[in-house]
Amino acid sequence: MRLVYPLELVSSSSRRTLMWISGISALMVGISLAFLGRMLTTPAAPLGSVSLELAGQGFIANSILGSWGMRGQLIAAFALGLDFLFLASYSTLLSVACVEAARKSGNIILSGACKTFAWSLLIVALAAICENVLLFRVLSAGDLRWVPLIRLCAEIKYSLVIAAFCCIVAGWQISFLRRSVAKPNRAVRPYSA
């Protein structure tokens, strides 16, 4: 029995529409998060809020929070709220792109990998939700004991997103190569009199 990813049951045109909507949404929210992230860039947090996600140790997180001050922590909390919208957008976009890459690749191994990564984006969503909830605990209550778990969630999230993106690129690349090889050669014929 083959496990079917729910987006495989949706028509190709509906998947493309969903990809456009989630892509535009991810872009808009991503730009907003990038703007907020620049406001959180300090010597202790060179990557803005990502620095806090990857801190891994309480004293590093404490240093980052201190460098932000109360205003920065409020901005970080607002950015975390936006990150829930971003999560919904980018995970949907990547899931649809994985299903499309699997369908178009024509390679059974790559197709299986892309479908597996489409499912893995559910793990990404769970890891990101867990990370955001724990980051809220750190920001609101200063509860630094969650910092190692936040880093683990961030590492899982980033690793799977990067792997899914690579699979998508490979699937689309193979699809493009297959189409270009399948097209007849339209070389100029020599002139004959």
Query: Using N-to-C axis directions, what is the helix angle for 58-105 and 147-182, rounded to 10°?
Result: 20
pLDDT tens across 91-140, in order? 999 999 999 898 888 888 888 898 899 999 999 999 999 999 999 999 99
Q: Is 103 exposed, middle or buried (0-12, 13-18, 19+ CB in 10 A)?
A: middle
Instruction: Reply yes or no on whether the pLDDT at 186 is more than 80.
Output: no
pTM: 0.84
